[in-house]
Amino acid sequence: MKPLSLQRLAQFFFFAVAVAAASPGMAQDRTNGESIAKTWCAGCHVINGSPPQFGQTDAIPSFSAVAGMPSTTAISLRIFLSTPHARMPDYNLTQREIADVSAYILSLKR
């Protein structure tokens, strides 16, 4: 059996994520996503124009700025929020919470 190439493995991964993101069992709740963001993310990010609790810095984008990035999609948010990042706490959000926070961020797109 021939081993999977890295490109084929990446294609499979993104296909699996796209299928999971489109799953009707994961209907997003924007209001719940906003509540989660205010609870867990407002310490560092500007949410609804409110300054972060720990002080504002240009290094940390507001959720509106994240929503306005061309690369911001439901899939990119799901992947980003599912992956630990060095400067961001790992809140270990459930898949449902990730879907909800993603829906909230996407609702800020202009």
Q: How many domains does the chain have?
A: 1
Q: How many CB atoms lie within 10 A of CB 49?
A: 7
**Average pLDDT rounded to a whole number, residues 14-33:** 63
Residue 105, number of CB atoms within 10 A of its CB: 25
Q: What percent of the chain has pLDDT over 90?
A: 43
Residue 57 phi, psi dihedral angles, 5° rounding: -140, 150
CATH code for position 34: 1.10.760
3 assigned to some structural domain: no
For residue 6, tell me if it sits in a domain. Answer: no
Residue 9 within a domain: no
Q: CA–CA distance from 60 to each of 45, 54, 57, 99 (Å)?
A: 6, 11, 6, 21
State the pTM of this model.
Answer: 0.70
Tens digit of each residue's pLDDT (9 = 90 or more) over 41-75: 888 888 887 777 777 677 789 999 999 999 999 99
Identify which has the larger pLDDT, 36 or 21.
36
Question: Could you tell me if 53 and 43 are in contact, meaning their C-beta atoms sit under 8 angstroms apart?
Answer: yes
Asked if residue 2 belongs to a domain, the reply is: no
- Nearest in space to 21 (alpha carbons), one of 100, 109, 104, 108: 100
**Is 48 within the bounds of a domain?**
yes
Asked whether 47 and 62 are in contact (CB, 8 A), the reply is: yes
* Enclosing domain of residue 63: 16-107
- Which residue carries 């002080």 as its tokens? 55
